[in-house]
Chains A and B, each alone.
Chain A
Amino acid sequence: MNFRITRALAFAAVLVALSSNRATAEPKLLEPERAFAYSVQAVDAKTVEARFAIASGYYLYREKLKFTVEPVALASAPAFPPGALKDDEFFGNVETYRGQLAVRLPLDGALPGLKVTVRAESQGCADAGVCYPPQVQHVTVVLPAPGGRPGAPVAATPAKKSWFN
C-alpha cells in the first residue's frame, strides 16, 4: 500500500516537473493592476479612502505614490502610514508598503452627491526580481450625504473571472 502511494506520488512529481518546466526558471508574475489592486471608498461627505491590496511577494514605493482628486481639491496632504525601510545603494533609505495600504484623503470643497475621481500614481516591484513602470489608475466614487452611510468600495480593475485567481 505504502509502496503504491510512493509510486503514484513520484509519478505526480514527474508530471508537475514536466508541465511547469519553464515556470521553475521564471515564476509567473501578475499583471501590475492585479499585483497592486487599487480601490476607493467614499467614507463620508468630505473624505475618501484610497486603498491598495498588494499581493504577497510584491511591494510599492511610498515616494512614488501620488494621489490627486477631481473636480475638488485635497484639503491637506494625505497622511501616509509608515512603511518598511529598504536600503538602496543608489537612492539611500526608501520606504515600501506590503499587504494592505489605506490612505485617507480629506477633500476641500466637497458636496454630498458629488462624483469624485481619485487618481493614483504608483510604482512597485516583485520579490521575484522585476519592477513595474509607474502606473496611473482612476476610480470615481459618489460622496454620501452628511451623516449618511459610507459608499461601497469601488475597484479600479474588476476581479478576474478565473478558477485559479
Chain B
Amino acid sequence: MPHLFKTRRTSTWLAFALAGVLALCAGLYFGGIGEDGNVTDLRGKDAAMLFGLALPDTSGREQSIGQWKGKVLVVNFWATWCLPCRDEMPEFVKAQRAFGGRGLQFVGIAVDDVGKVKDFAAELGLNYPALIGGFGAIELSKSLGNRLGALPFTVIVDRSGRVNHTHLGPIKEADLNAIIMQLL
C-alpha cells in the first residue's frame, strides 16, 4: 500500500512538471516572456527626438511637434492605404473632442502623400493636425519602437515629455481612454 501511494505521488508530480514545461513552451511560442515582440518597450524614455521634429501639415505649413509639449500627446502613425488605421481614427476624433479642452492633443503622422490625406481628413472631419511624413515616417516610427515598421503605430507621451505607451495595431477605445484619463 505505501508503495502504491508513492507511485501515485510521483506520477502526479510528473504530470505537473510535464504540464509546466509544455505551458512554458507554449508561452514562449505564442508571445515570449515579458515582451510581445512587436514593439520595443520605450516606456519612461524621454521623447526629445519627437519634440525636435517639424513636419508639414496638409496646407504645407511646417508644424513643430515641440509646440504640443506639456500636453498629453498621442502621436498616431497612419496612412490612407491602411484600412485598420482609418477604422480607428473616428475614435481619436471623439477623444480629441471630449478631452482636448483638458490638455489632450492627437497628432497624426501620415505615411502618405498630401492629396490623399487631405481627402480623407475632409471625409472624416479630422479635428487634429495631420502631418505629412511620407515613407520616411516609417523610419521615424522605428526609432520610436515600431520594430516591424507596420501601421497603425501609436505613441502616447505624458505631460513631462516621457513615452508612456507605444502600441502597434488598433488601440481598443476602452484601453485608450483608460490611458488618457490616467495621464490627464
Contact = CB atoms under 8 A, between A and B. Distances in A.
A and B form one complex: yes
Contact of B84 (A4, A25, A125): A125
B27 A32 contact: no
Interface in B46-83: 79-83
Given A128-B169, A130-B151, A90 B80 contact: yes
A20 B169 contact: no
A14 to B, nearest CB: 8
A20 B37 CA distance: 11
Contact of B86 (A18, A28, A64, A90): A90
A134 B38 CA distance: 18
B11 to A, nearest CB: 8
Interface string A78-104: 000000000011110000000000000
Nearest to A64: B81
Nearest to B27: A19
Given A28-B36, A90-B80, A129-B84, A8 B31 contact: no
B36 A133 contact: no
B15 A25 contact: no
Contacts of B24: 15, 19
B15 A4 contact: yes
A20 B15 contact: no
A72 B53 CA distance: 43
Contacts of A29: 37-38, 148, 150, 168
Given A29-B148, A133-B151, A15 B83 contact: no
B35 A22 contact: yes
Residue of A11, A126, A133 contacting most chain B CB atoms (<10 Å)? A133
B35 A133 contact: no
A145 interface: no
B152 interface: yes
B150 A130 contact: yes
A76 interface: no
Interface in B145-184: 148-152, 167-170
Interface string A108-146: 000000000000000101101111111000000000000
Interface string A3-44: 011011101111110111111111011011000000000000
B90 to A, nearest CB: 12
B30 A131 contact: no
Nearest to A163: B29
Interface in A58-87: 64
B12 A32 contact: no
Given A23-B31, A130-B169, A131-B79, A5 B15 contact: yes
15 contacts: A15-B20, A20-B32, A20-B33, A21-B31, A22-B35, A23-B30, A23-B32, A26-B38, A90-B120, A130-B169, A131-B82, A131-B150, A133-B111, A133-B138, A133-B149
